[in-house]
Each structure stands twice: as C-alpha cells, then as structure tokens.
Structure 1
Amino acid sequence: MTQLTKGAQAALLAAIVGALCLLLEGVAPWLVQFPKAWVLPATDWVGAGVEWFLLLIKPAARAFSALLFYPMEAASAALNQTPWPLLIAAATALGWMLGGLRMALMALVGLGFVLASGYWSEGMNTLALVAVSVPLALLIGGGIGILANEYPRIRGPVQATLDVMQTVPTFAYLTPLLVLFGFGPVVGLIASAIYAAPPMARNVLLGLQRVEPEIKEAAVMSGGTRLQQLFQCEIPSAGRQIMVGVNQCLMAALSMVIIAAVIGGFDDIGWEVLLTMRKAQFGQSLLAGLVIVIFAILIDRMSGTLTEDRRHRHDPRVAWAILGLGVLASVLFWGSLGSAEDYTLFNPVADRVDAGLSAFTTANAAALTALKNNVMFYVLLPLRIGLDQAVLPFTWGFAWTPAMSAALFAAGAALGLLCAWRGHLALGLMILIAAGMLETGISQLPWPFVLAGAGALAWVAAGRGLALLTVVLLTTILVSGLWERALLSLYLSGAAVFACTLLGGGIGLASALSPTVWRVVRPICDMLQTIPLFVFLIPVLMVFQIGEFSAFLAIIAYAIVPMIRYTRHGLTETPAEMIEAATASGATRWQMLRDVRAPYAAPSILLGLNQTILYAFAMLVIAALIGTTGLGQSIYLALGKADVGLGISAGAAMAILALIADRIVQGFAEDRRRALGL
C-alpha cells in the first residue's frame, strides 16, 4: 500500500474533523459554536494587568512626554517661521546634492505643490513630528540591533519581539499610549518612534552580521578595543545596509504619524485628511492626501540615494547658489511674500473634483451600485456566511435547499475522486474541503476544524514545532472570546489576498513577459508603495462610500504591489544555464514558462504572497474606519473608548493570525528553495 504524503495526511485529518463537526452538529452544537461559558475573561485580565503597569510608570511617562514636547514645538516653530522660499530652496539644494537635476526638480515641484495646496503649515507640522520621532527611532533601533549583535543569547528573543512589533496592527499601539501619555501630538511622536524602530534594528543587525570576517580579523589584529572595532570598522562596513534601515525608518515614521492623527488632535496633514474625510469633502481630502504622497516620495527617493554604493558627486557650488537664491528671495520680498496659508491655488480644483464626483456618481449610480452589490451578494457574502445562508430569493433569485448542499458535496467528492485516481490525493481532499467551506462560510467554520486544519497546514509547511505553536496561539484567541471577530478578519483579508494573488500574479506575469508592460506598471507600483495607508481610503470612499466593499478595494490596492513585484522578479531571474538547456531541448515559450521559469520562481512568488498577507492585515485595521467588522473594528472601538484590554487583546489576535500566516508561507518557500538546491 502506498504511503500517504504529508500533504495528503494533513488534508485527510482536516476533512475528517470537518465532516465529524458537521455530522454531529445536531447532538453536539458546541463543536460548531464555542460555548460562551468556556470563554475566559482574558480581555479583562489583560486590561487590568496592563493598566496596573501603565499606572505604575505613568509619572515617568508623562515627564518624558513633557520633555519631548519642547523639541517638537521647536521643530514646528522653526519650520513654520522660516520663509517658505528658503525652505523650498534648501530642499532643492539637498535634492541636487543627493540626486542631481532630476531630484532637485522633484523637490522644487513637490514642495511648490505643497505650498499651492494651502496645506503648507499642516505639512510643516507633520515634518516636525517626523524630524523628532526619526532620531529617537534610529537611536532605539540602532541600539537594539547592536545589542543583539554583541550578545547572541538575546538575538532570538529580540528577533521574535521585532516580529511581534511589526505584525501588531498600528492602531493597537495607540490605545496603551493614549492612557500612558494622554491626548495630544506627543502620542503620535512616540508611537512613530516605536513603530519605526524595528526596521532600523533589523537592518543594523543584518548589516553587522554580513561584515566580512577579514575586516573583523583586521580590526582585532590592529589592537583596537571592542568599541573601536565596532564603531570604526564594523559599523562603517555595514553602512549601506544601515542606510536601508534609515530609509525604512523614515517611511515607517511618516506612515505612523498620519495614523496617530486619530488621537493626536494636532494641526497636521493626518488630521486634515481625517477631518475632510469625515465631512465628505473628498476633493480637499484628496488634496491633503496628495501632500502626504509628495512627502513620502521625496523622503523615500532622497534617503534611498544614501543606500547606493557609488553615488555621483554633484557640484556643491550649484547647491550653494540655489540656497543663496532662496535667501535672496526671502530678504527682497519679505513684506510681499504673504503667509503660506494664503496660497490656495488648488481649492477650485478640489471643488471641481467634488462637483465632478457628485455628477459621476449620480450619472453612474446604477452601474456602481450593481458592481458593489454583485461583488457583495455573489462573492463576499457567500464567503463570509456560506451558500447555505447567502443564497436567498432577494439576492440570487432562489433559495438554497438541502438537495443543493448534497449536490455541491457530491460534485466536490466526484472531482476529488478523479484527482485521487490520477495520483493527486491531497488535491482531491482539498477540493472536498473547499466545497465544505464554501457551503458553510469562513465566519461559520467549526472551531475544531480551523484548529485541526491550520495545525495540519503548519505541520506540512515546517514540522511539528510550528504546528504546535499554531494550535496553541489559535486556542488563545478561541478562549479569549475574540474567535468570531478573528474569523471575520480572516474572511475579508483572505478574500483580498486571493484577489491580489490572481490579479497581481497576472500583472506580474505580463510584466515578466513584456518589458513594455513593466515600464507602465513599475511607476504605478512605486507610487502605491510610497502612499501612506490612510490615503488608500480616499478614492474608494469617493466612489463607493462607506462599506465593506470599499474596505475590500482599499486592501487590494495596498497589498497587491508585493505580489506583482515578486512574481515578476522570480520569473525574470531564472539562471541563464537553465534557459539555455531548455532552449536546446526544443522547449516552446509556454513550456519554458511552465516547466522552467515558474518552478524556479516559486520561492520568490511565495515570498510575495507572504508580504501580501502581511500588507492585507496591516490595511485591515485602517479599513475599519470605513466599515469593516472583525478585529480591526474592535481595535478602533477600543481606541475610541481607551479600552486597553480590548485594544491589546484584539491587536494581539490579529498579530497571531499574521504571524501564523507568515510562518506557514515561509515554511513552504523554504521547502521549495531546498528542492531547487538554493
């Protein structure tokens, strides 16, 4: 008898558990619905424990908050009181030094747009928060990275902590910080520093680990102390990787400053975006969002040049001349410059956007409503609650009957038997499981089936250790009373990831096959990766208003880029010798793609899927602002009520889901790399 593969064993276990739950639902309803009597008051315990700890350190935290208030105010005053021609000239001169004429023009045009938008003061306040939070994040992250490098024993716990920090949703940071530091802009500053520190720590650690052994040996042989070896030899040698960390730290800080505007109450761009969104002033909201995009692009491009091995040196005299022109303009036209707030050239454009949007939505109301309703009634709703409950005369035109359920399972079983007969037992069982999930709905899945299925999948991906960890972590969500909300989050993020996989994979494939397509797609991907999360909500709200469909589209827009990039990268990086061997054997272009490029690209594509999953979970919490349910909504509600227990518990539950998905996909990617001998 042929021994079952690991995949077949895992699928068989999940299928048996799922079938038993459905068959015994009538006599043992607790197999489907976890009894409330079994739920532990974990949220209350977490809230009481954290609040006790926060009250203990609250005096020191408030003192630290008061201390940070002064540099933030100083930075804000310096940026707001400096004449705008001088600031634009300084940014243009910096752009010239870092990237030449192209980057200088980018800075000039970008800041010119900020000035003309009427959001100059708000923009400077945002930059003031970034200017203070980034050095703090660099200091914290750099210190953590150096400590983890110097003391290998703490390296594992540090990396696990960084994993948790980067998978915990951004809003979850704000609830305990609100209790600890109070309401105000300093909370955003501290949240930005905490959120931006992990990328710096990771890159410092990675850079120091990659220092060539010869460099370390030379430093030791020269008789230097350990501090001299570290700061005079190893850190300079790791400079490029550390500058990558600086770039990511800057982008993370800017992204978090916008999110922290929810509780900051500071007159910055984030607050303007939130305020105009709430007032349904989508033209102004889009205008403020474009200011954020410009800041993100300028910061990304300028700091990105510091990671290059060889940067072209540009004549510093040109930079000094540009700066001199800025000083001259400020002095000569001091009295006639006017306030930066007076320059509102784009307000008529924003008004026309609102008018045009109203006209567009009115003219196309039927088509837009049909699109939204069709996706909701025929895709999202069945995925969430299952065909058994979603198929109704009101939506589908007929009612779902037990005979239809039997037919669905029979079709799944027949297709599964066909796959098994052809030697693909695991695939056949997965088809049968998929039929059951489609009939039941993701949010209605029996909890033993989810635990068994996730544990079995983790076992196939990375062995018993990950399987045990997966079951234990999911059980903590189950007994904490957050299970239903976790499944709702899993449903929406899963649907978005599936859409990103199909659409992003297709675009990545087209980009790999056609350089012309990639030339069109690449700048769009660059733009999407520099847009802060908040801004993705604006265009979907403008067209589809508040609702789950708008959140679904926003998640796709944010999470699709990694799938496109990694798919294209994997398909274009096939070794030349493999291509030559396939060509010599007479393979067609399709055979080359299917049998050579795609298998070799599998690890890269799986890595793209991994990043897409993490991006989807990150965006899920932001999407709670426009009408999602699940853990994201719980985190947002906890923030409004300052409910530390609910905020941390829901944030931890979402981090658990992201962490499990991350480890499972990484396991499959590592397995593919081993199979390819990489």
Structure 2
Amino acid sequence: MRGLSKGSLAALITVVVGVLCLLLEGALPWLTTYPKTWVLPASDAIGMGVEAGLVFVKPAARMFSALMAYPMAATNYVLAALPWPLLIAATVALGWRLGGVRMAAMAAFGLGLVLLSGYWPQGMNTLALVAVSVPLALIAGAAIGILANEFPRFRAPVQALLDVMQTVPTFAYLTPLLVLFGFGPVVGLIASAIYAAPPMARNVLLGLQRVEPEVKEAAVMSGGTRMQQLFQVEIPAAKVQIMVGVNQCLMAALSMVIIAAVIGGFEDIGWEVLLTMRKAQFGPAMLAGSVIVIFAILIDRMSGTLAQERRRLWDGRISLGIMALGLVGSLLFWRALADPGSYQALDPVADGLDSWLTDFTRSNADLLTSFKNSIMFYVLLPLRIGLDQAILPFTWGFQWTTGMSLWFFAAAGAGAVVLTLRGQLTGALVLLIMAGILETGVSQLPWPFVLVGVGALAWVAGGLRLAMLSVGLLSTILVSGLWERALLSLYLSGASVVACAILGGGIGLLSAASPLAWRVVRPICDMLQTIPLFVFLIPVLMVFQIGEFSAFLAIIAYAIVPMIRYTRQGLIATPEEMIEAATASGATGWQMMRDVRAPYAAPTILLGLNQTILYAFAMLVIAALIGTTGLGQSIYLALGQADVGLGISAGAAMAILALIADRIVQGFAEERKKALGL
C-alpha cells in the first residue's frame, strides 16, 4: 500500500467494494436495495416539526404578508396607470444616460416589442413584483454581508447559510412559504426576495473584504466612529463589487418570476407563460417568455454598467429631453392612447410560429423521433438502468446476456492491465469503476458502493474531513427513504454535466483559439445567461414534447454557459512568459494548447465545471415540470400537496448532492492551483 498514490488507493478501495457487492448480491440482496424497514420516517418527522413551529410564526407571517400587499398593490397601480409612452421614454432616457445611443436604442426596441406583444399590463405586474422584492433582498443581503464582515465569528456560519440557500432548489422552500403566507402574489414576492438576497450578501462581504488596508487605516486615523468608517469610507470604496451584487440580485429576482407564479400567480408574465404552456400554445408561450427575456437583458445591461469601475455617464440634458418628449406626448395624446393590452401586433407572429412548428414537427417527425430515441436508447437509458437491462431487442436489436457481461468485464480488465503496465494504475482502476457503473446503471448501484466511492473521491479531493462529511450527508438521504430518487437525480444531472463538459469544453476551446468564433459565441452566451430558467423549457417542449429527453436538453442549454466561459478564460489567461518559452522550444499550436495552456487553465476549468454542476441541479427541479423523475418530481409534488416534510427533505437531499459535488470539485481545483504554485 505504501507504493500506491492517494488516488490509486481510493480507486482500489472502491473497486474492491464494488466487486464484493457484485459477488454478494444474490446472498445479500439488501446490498443492492436498501431495506424499507431500515428507513426512518424523516419526511413525516420534519413535516410535523416544521408545521408545529410554523404555527407560532404564522400570525406574524400573515401580518407581514398583509402589510406587503400595500406596496405591491401601490406599485401595480402606479405602473398600470402611467401611460406607456412615458414609461418607455423614462427607460430610454435612463439607457441614454448609462450607455448612450446603443443602450437607448436597445431600450426603445425592447419595450416596443413588449408593447406590440400585447403583454404590457402583465409585464408591468411582473416589474411591480421585482420592484418591491428587490429592495427587500438588497436590504437583507446587505445586512447579512455587513454582519459577517463586522463579526468574523459569524462569517463561517453565514457562508454556510449562503451555500445552503444557493444549493437548495427554489421549489423546496416554496412549500413552507405557502403554509406561512398563504396563496397569492405576496408569496411570490417573498420567495423572490429570499432567492435574490444571497448574491447581494456575498458581494457586499467580498467588497468589504477587498477594501485596501491603507483606506481602512486612513479612516481610523481620521478619528471617525466605526459606523462612520463603515458607511462613509469602506462601503463607498467597495461600491463596484456591491453594484455587481445589485446586478445579480435583480437578475435572480427576475428569474423567480415564473416560479413564483406557481404559488402566487396573478396576471403577470410568469402566469401567462405557465398558462400558455399548459394549453400547449407554444407560440404565445414563446412570445410571453420573450417578454421576460427582454426585461432580463435590459435590466442586466443597465445595472451592469453601474458595476463598471470606470463608467461614462452620457449627457443628462438629452435624457431630460427624452423624458420631456414622453411626457408631452402622453399629455397631448392621452385620450387617443389605447389600452396597452390591445396592441397585439405580434399575435400573427406567435400564430405563425405555432403553425410553422406544427408543420416542422410533422414533416420531420421521423428524424426528430430517431434523434430522440438514439440519445435515449444508446446513451441515457444505459446510464440509468445499465447495459444488462437497457439492451433489448426493442432498443438495440438484440438481448444482453450474462455471457456478454463477462466479456464486457474481461475487455475492461484487459484495458486496465494495459494501463497498469504503462504505469497508470489510477486510470486502470477508474476504468474498472466506470465499466461497473455502465453495466449496472447509476439508478441500480449498490448503496455501499456509492457511499464508499463518493467518500473515497472526497478524501482525494479534500481530505478525511470532507470524506466524512460527504458520507455522513449521503447517509441521511439513505435512511430518509429518498435514495432511489436521489440516484435518479444524480443520473440525469450527471449525464447533463458530462454533455456540458464535452460540448462546452469544445466550444470554449474553439473560442480561445479563434477570436472570430468567440465573437459569434459570446452574444449567444450572454443571451442564455439572461434567460430565466423556466423559459428554457419552452423550445424543447415545442419540438420534443414532455419527457426526460426534453429535460436533458433544457438542463444542457442552461448549464453549458459557465463551462464555455471558464474554459475560454482559463485557456487565454496563460502568462506570456510561458507562451514565449513554449514558442522558443518549437511547440506547435496544438502542443502549446495541450501541454501549456490546458494544464495552466485546469483550476479555472474546474471552477467552470463546478458552476455547471450547480446550474444543472438548479434546472433539474424546474425540469420536473416536464416529466422527469427523482427528487425534482418529489419537490414539485410536495408543493402541489402542501407537504412541508417531503418538500424540505427532498429539497435538502438535492442540496446535499449539489453541496458534495461543489466541495469535491473545489477541492480538485485547489489542488491544481497548489500544484501550479498559484
């Protein structure tokens, strides 16, 4: 054992446990299927405990809900009563002030499309929700960030709380909110505020920590009190990073619009998207979804300029002139202005999209079905239930037999021997592990193998403490009775992450090698990053209907952007001296990319993979609406049944999977940084 590396030892232990589970499966069936008699009634206990606690909080929560209804109604009234020319003029004026002609034109064009879509009233209701929820999130997030900065002993618990809030699926905490605050738009407002607060808290804390020591010393030397130092010196010095938090807070609140419509639906864009999707009116659903995308792009671009360290403010007199034109136009044509909801000039476009889509799916039904079935039968299904159950005459044209399993393991063993002879023992053992997983299927893996495998991987990535934490957290899922659903979630999110790593890594590599390719890819990434989660479901539903494959594509579309961005950033960030040394040694472009840029970029690429994993888990719950199984479906069902216990336990299980994956990938990234001396 002394000659084995840490990775080889971990892989060997995993292989031994896997072989034992395989050999003892017949004699000890509990190794494969966790006995139901060993399951603890965790969901029921959590539900009873939470509901008992909520009884005492519910009166205060209902009172707060009633109070928040007033600013919500007032904001709704103001935005609905103001004439649309004035609102468009105000937005265009703000766009001019922040970004000049380009941003002003973007604002005019975007809001013009919203008006012509006929969804102006619903759009204003959506903005009202954002306008009230964002200040709540900003105040709460800023308070948390300042508290963690001022009291270092609270910093670790606050970071852990923010990690949990980031990894817990949004649907999971909608259930207790529904019990606390009841059904209605105010619940959506509160849910949006809770979801949007962590980005603000993180950026406030990060900004305050990055304030130069000289600035802090100067504030102390000036004799100011601690409050004066904080609010007059440190917070202004950290304003750029804090404005990044404001930008992320706005985008997070807007991304919750449709999700909040599930429990607090009123006549807003989220409700329109849900309604049209349920009626399979894909043209109107796409049109309503495009309104959210327009709002997201405008809010992102305008608030993003405030986060720039050196920004140019354009002539304010022109902004005032634009506002004056909007006001004069509104006053002169007040009676002539029609109900903004009646401007439905884009309805023919939506109807045409529906008609075109119907014709497209009918004329290409065989091709689309073949593509869908190929991915399902030859990739997803084997990963889910294993080769021995997925390969059938109906799917592959022949039946998988025991003899084939023996030949498959023999081939894997031969490959492992070859790798071992080349000195790649860890790679050989990993090959055996992957062969066992593929033959068995992720959803059918023995629970001791999963616990030991994840613990071993965590030990390699972050040491004994992370290994114990990972095994302990996974064990809570095991004894809670959610293990099978957790494995189903792990399978789909894992398959999506692998696809994102391959496709996103390839696109990121191409973007790093070709500036022209990046000019094409960058606006697509920007658009994908500003689209709220729910909108990703619309195009895949339009083409492939409800099912696991549609969820798979939606997760990829949402989670691929970090992989592209981080891969490109890592590859182009190689120090010039390393490039010059490689060039002087006669390295070709491919050799430089493989042997110089890629190893240096590994920590950054791993961070991109980490973000991709978190994005995949976030989208997995949303994808439950279109037919997936696993923890996401449990969370959604708990929401519909107001089952607090199931909602919290399933949400916690999803958060545990995401948290473990996050810590393991971060551990490998830190290890690579140390190896590179960073």
| Structure-to-structure mapping, 1:182-197, within 5 angstroms | 182-197=182-197
Asked if the contact 2:258–2:274 (Cα under 8 Å) also holds between the matched residues in 1, the reply is: no
SS in 2 for 1:423: coil
Show the counterpart of 2:635.
635
2:603 is equivalent to residue 603 of structure 1: yes
Deviation at 1:377, TM superposition (A): 1.0
Deviations 1:21-47 (A, max 9, x none): 010011111111100000000000110
Show the 5 A alignment for 1:288-299: 288-299=288-299
Alignment of 1:140-219 (within 5 A): 140-219=140-219
Contact map agreement 2:196 2:253 (CA 8 A) in 1: yes
CA distance in 1: counterparts of 2:265 and 2:317, whole angstroms: 42
Q: 1: distance between equivalents of 2:334 and 2:160?
A: 54
How far is 1:308 from its partner?
A: 0.8
Q: Match for residue 450 of structure 1?
A: 450
The letter for the 1-side match of 2:585 is: S
Task: Note if 1:53 corresponds to 2:47.
Answer: no
Partner of 2:488: 488
Match of 2:329 in 1: 329
- Counterpart CA distance in 2 for 1:450 and 1:137 is 39
CA offsets, 1:248-293, max 9 Å, x none?
0000011112211011121100000010000000000000000000
Aligned twin of 1:285? 285
* 2:256 aligned counterpart, secondary structure: helix
Q: Which residue of 2 aligns with 1:260?
A: 260
CA distance in 1, matches of 2:2, 2:80: 75
Report percent identity of matched pairs. Answer: 76
Which residue identity is paired with 1:343?
Answer: Y
Q: How far 1:2 moved relative to its partner?
A: 6.2
Tell me what 1:270 maps to: 270
CA distance in structure 1 between the partners assigned to 2:621 and 2:29 by the alignment = 32
Letter matched to residue 439 of structure 2: E
Q: Which amino acid aligns with 2:327?
A: V
Please give the alpha-carbon distance, in whole angstroms, between the structure 2 residues aligned to 1:128 and 1:2: 65
The 2-side partners of 1:283 and 1:341 are apart by: 18
Amino acid at match of 1:583: T
Give the counterpart letter for 1:165 in structure 2.
M
In the alignment, which residue of structure 1 is the partner of 2:417? 417
Residue aligned with 1:577, SS: helix
User: Is 1:345 matched up with 2:336?
Assistant: no
TM-score by length of 1: 1.00
Cα-to-partner distance string for 1:481-505 (whole Å, 9 max, x where unaligned): 0000000000000000000000010
- Deviation of 1:677 after TM superposition, in Å, equals 0.4
Q: Distance in 2 between matches of 1:487 and 1:10?
A: 21
Normalised by the size of structure 2, how large is the TM-score?
1.00
The total of aligned residue pairs comes to 678
Q: Kindly indicate whether the alpha-carbon contact (under 8 Å) linking 2:86 and 2:323 is maintained by their aligned counterparts in 1.
A: yes
CA deviation after TM superposition for structure 1 residue 468, in Å: 0.2
Q: Which residue of 2 aligns with 1:85?
A: 85
CA-to-aligned-CA distance 1:469-524 (integer Å, 9 cap, x gap): 00000000000000000000000000000000000100000001111100000000
Distance apart, 1:619 and its partner CA: 0.3
Counterpart Cα distance in 1 of 2:100 and 2:590: 43
Give CA deviations for 1:619-661 in whole Å, capped at 9, x if unaligned: 0000000010000000000000000000000000000000000
Task: Name 1:436's counterpart in structure 2.
Answer: 436
AA at the equivalent of 2:39:
V
RMSD: 0.7
Residue aligned with 1:103, SS? helix
Distance of 1:571 and 1:233 partners within structure 2 = 37
Render the CA deviation track for 1:282-329: whole Å, top value 9, x for unaligned.
000000000000000000000000011111121111001000010011
Q: Summarize the alignment of residues 455-534 of structure 1 with structure 2, pairs less than 5 Å apart.
A: 455-534=455-534
In structure 1, the partner of 2:573 is: 573
Q: Deviations over 1:534-570 (max 9, x none)?
A: 0000000000000000000000000000000000111
Deviations 1:440-482 (A, max 9, x none): 0000000000000000000000100000000000000000000
Q: Structure 2 CA distance, aligned partners of 1:471 and 1:341? A: 55
Deviation at 1:232, TM superposition (A): 0.5
Map Cα deviations across residues 153-198 of structure 1 (whole Å, 9 max, x no partner): 0100000000000000011121000000000000010001111000
2:365 & 2:112 partners in 1: Cα distance?
Answer: 37
AA partner of residue 129 (structure 1): L
Q: What is the rounded CA distance, in whole Å, between the counterparts of 1:33 and 1:360 in structure 2?
A: 45
Q: State the secondary structure of the residue aligned to 1:586.
A: coil
Partner of 1:676: 676
- 3-state SS of the aligned residue for 2:629? coil
Instruction: State how 1:223-238 maps to structure 2 within 5 Å.
Output: 223-238=223-238
Partner of 2:75: 75
Instruction: Work out the CA distance in 2 between the residues paired with 1:308 and 1:397.
Output: 59
Q: Distance in 2 between matches of 1:313 and 1:246?
A: 19
Aligned AA (1:257): V
Aligned residue identity for 2:89: A
**Cα deviation 1:379-433 (Å, max 9, x = unaligned):** 1111000011111111111111000000110011110111111111010001011
